[in-house]
Homo-oligomer: A and B are copies of this chain.
Amino acid sequence: MTDDAARVFVPGHVTGLFSVHRDDDPARTGSRGVGLTLTDGVTVEVAPADESVVFVDDDPVAVESATRVLDAMDVSLEVRARTDVPLGAGFGVSGAIALGTAYAANAVVDAGCSANDLVRLAHVAEVEAGSGLGDVVAQARGGAPIRLEPGAPPHGRLDGIPDTSRVEYVTFGELSTVDVITGGTDRLSEAGEAGLEAVRERPTLDAFMTASRQFARDADLLTDDVASVVDEVASAGGTAAMAMLGRTVFALGTGLSDAGYDPGVCRIHDAGVTIR
């Protein structure tokens, strides 16, 4: 059935560790790694329009991943995204807008895509826009996704940590994803592969947080502000790590509150992308 408008929620996604895998085929390009999807995320609504335009929290914003999704589906739509989490701070907002746009557009124009088709469209758009490598497939799954093999369906392969938790976060702003992703990634990927192995051996949230802290150090991505907050949470008896790639610290339970911060509070999201 075709609807006049559609509303879709996509969870935020913080990656704790990852490795980069490039391929000539963008559907096979992606990252391996581990992260948490969050009940704080992005709500996307679309409506018919003569010319495509994307609004984020009422401001027109050039979100290339979303525009590429609309172009690939050959549709013109007004996209309105509302986000609980900041852009550019490691929460996968561009991936969420791309995936939400694909799902909402499919409902409005009756494009006849399956779930895997829509995830692939959004993943390819993200990769080609250079704005992300693993958020879309994680946001399609929900929970605490382990990205075993890179890429979109049917290439990528996922597992998950079978647990849930309250999650807190504080953010100090952007870290240039482009600089990190387009620079040399050998050292980063080596650290990411080691971290993934550690989580696969012991797929628990505690093991994930430990491996993520180690990854941030080994990959040399820890900024001073993030490093000191992670240490403060540890001193207060909690467990925190850095959201890749942003100047953002996330903690399980009440880790940041206990260390005296006034964090954003949410939970691990049970579901992936959800039609509202």
Contact = CB atoms under 8 A, between A and B. Distances in A.
Interface of A: 1, 103, 106-107, 110, 112-118, 142-143, 146, 153-154, 157, 159-164, 200, 202-206, 270-272, 274-275
Contacts of A113: 162, 203
Contact of A270 (B146, B153, B157, B271): B271
B112 A202 contact: yes
A107 B165 CA distance: 13
Which of A115, A143, A157, A161 has most B Cβ within 10 Å?
Answer: A115
Contact of A163 (B146, B154, B200, B275): B275
Number of copies: 2
Given A113-B203, A115-B162, A118-B162, 10 more contacts: A112-B202, A114-B159, A114-B160, A114-B162, A115-B161, A142-B271, A153-B159, A154-B157, A162-B275, A270-B270
A interface, over-half SS: loop
B114 A200 contact: yes
A127 to B, nearest CB: 20
22 contacts: A1-B204, A106-B162, A110-B204, A112-B202, A112-B204, A114-B159, A114-B160, A114-B161, A114-B162, A115-B143, A115-B146, A115-B159, A115-B160, A115-B161, A115-B162, A115-B203, A118-B162, A153-B159, A154-B157, A163-B275, A271-B271, A271-B272
